[in-house]
Amino acid sequence: MKQQINSSLLKTGAAIALLTSVITACGSSSSNINSAGVDNTTTTSGSTTTDTQTTGDAIDITDAILTEQNGSCEYYVGSYYSNVEDVQRNVGFNGDVVISVSGDKCVFDVNEIPNHDFNDASASFATNVAEQSGRYEIPKSPVAAATVTELSLGTTNAILLNGVVIDLLAAACYDVGNEPLGQEKIGCGEDQLDNPWRYDPMSPLNNFGTDIHNAHVQPDGTYHYHGNPMALFDSDCDLIAQESPVIGFAADGFPIYGSCFSDNGVVRKAQSSYQLKAGVRQLVNGYTTPQAGMGDVASNNYDGQFRGDYDYQAGSGDLDQCNGMTINGQYGYYITNSYPWVVGCYKGTPDSSLNKQGPALANRLHSHNGISHSH
């Protein structure tokens, strides 16, 4: 029997309460929130009863599927926790997320443990997950800049509502660094941001040791996503027939939604406007063109193994070059099933609190089970 947990973040004065409904294929549910903001939900399924509760002022978001679409980070102020497991190690963890407001910023204080189990059998983590002490600040009222800001290795791309960050770029490019040609997994830094042959961690042609949530671990134990977290929202747009919720915020403060939106009343997945180029990869002056058969290079064609295999074609999809669009006056980024996956660039100005320096930047270079690996 399949069980789905739906969680809504509800505004109550200056506080946020979480209403959790548990729905089963052959059961019913009832929910109420008491005066202390504690949700007591009882679900009956056959002879099985499940109670979902909050503890004190903190709200349990373990395996929560969010529903709220409010694009303001201030709306989600509150304290949240989760109880999850490192599957391969059989070790329990407690996620901790506190969202507050300071001046014109929303502040995320997180231990960077997700609200779902992680490190399943498909993963190959070189480092064990460990709790962190992260603080990220984003603008409460983001503003579109005159020009977009490109992604960089030195900036964390986004912070999700479960307290886990997104880092989209790999610090690995073809024929850059000291590793065998076609097996580069490290050494392609900020000075190579224009390199078209940067490996895409989300391509199935590359192996970055991720689990089913498209996530893995940095040397200090930080768990982070490379794309769709495969959590926090329901991606079956046809089945749910509802627009996706806000699942986090990009470094510039604009919200990140799941994949579903309403297209004139028809709910469907948002489509990226990046397309694979046609034919054989062409020479780009100053860079070595990847060659099929060299290391792990799959082919000479534009097949998505490298970020330069794609080209933005305005109007070919729903989203702009930053992978976002405006609906009902609210600009936001969308999770897509194709490149650039989450954020293609920043519509606004990234907050400096998400910039990495010194050890934090070096932390992005690491190995996986004896295979050199970075992002």
Q: Is the per-residue pLDDT at 202 higher than 90?
A: yes
Higher pLDDT, 300 or 35: 300
**Residue 39 domain flag:** yes
Residue 119: name the closest of 80, 90, 149, 81 by CA.
90
What's the CA gap between 325 and 321, in Å, rounded?
10
Helical H segments across the chain, by residue range: 237-240, 359-362
Give the per-residue pLDDT at 364: 53
Q: How many independent structural domains does the chain possess?
A: 1
Mean pLDDT of 107-113: 98
Q: Are 260 and 66 in contact (CB under 8 A)?
A: no
Burial pattern 36-64, b for ≥16 Cβ within 10 A else e, equals ebbbebebebeeeeeebebeeebbbbbbb
Residue 61: name the closest of 91, 15, 14, 18 by CA.
18
Q: Are 185 and 373 in contact (CB under 8 A)?
A: yes
Mean pLDDT of 203-222: 93
**Residue 1 domain flag:** yes
**Residue 24 domain flag:** yes
Q: Are 243 and 223 in contact (CB under 8 A)?
A: no
Burial pattern 147-171, b for ≥16 Cβ within 10 A else e, equals ebbebebbbbbbbbbbbbbbbbbbb
Residue 56 has, within 13 A of its CA and on its CB side, a CA count of 5
Q: Is the per-residue pLDDT at 363 higher than 80?
A: no
pLDDT band (50, 70, 90) for residue 246: very high
Rg (CA), the chain: 21
What's the CA gap between 254 and 251, in Å, rounded?
8
Give the per-residue pLDDT at 57: 86
**Residue 312 domain flag:** no
Give the per-residue pLDDT at 367: 43
Q: Is the per-residue pLDDT at 74 higher than 50?
A: yes
Domain limits at 53?
A: 1-60
Mean pLDDT of 251-268: 97
Higher pLDDT, 288 or 25: 288
Residue 12: name the closest of 69, 56, 77 by CA.
77
> How, if at all, do strands 65-66 and 58-60 pair?
unpaired
What's the CA gap between 186 and 178, in Å, rounded?
8
Mean pLDDT of 142-154: 97
Decide: pTM greater than 0.75.
Answer: yes
**Residue 104 domain flag:** no
> How, if at all, do strands 3-12 and 65-66 pair?
parallel
> Which residue has tokens 């002022």?
57
Quick one: which H or E segment has residue 84?
Answer: strand 78-86
361: helix, strand or coil: helix
**Residue 27 domain flag:** yes
**Residue 6 domain flag:** yes
**Residue 54 domain flag:** yes
Q: Which long-range contacts (CB under 8 A, 24 or more apart) does 320-329 make?
A: 320/273, 320/347, 321/148, 321/273, 321/345, 322/148, 322/346, 322/347, 323/272, 324/254, 325/261, 325/270, 327/261, 327/262
Q: Is the per-residue pLDDT at 19 higher than 80?
A: no
Q: Is the per-residue pLDDT at 375 higher than 60?
A: no
Q: How many CB atoms lie within 10 A of CB 195?
A: 20
Tell me how far apart the terminal alpha carbons of the chain are, to the nearest angstrom.
Answer: 38
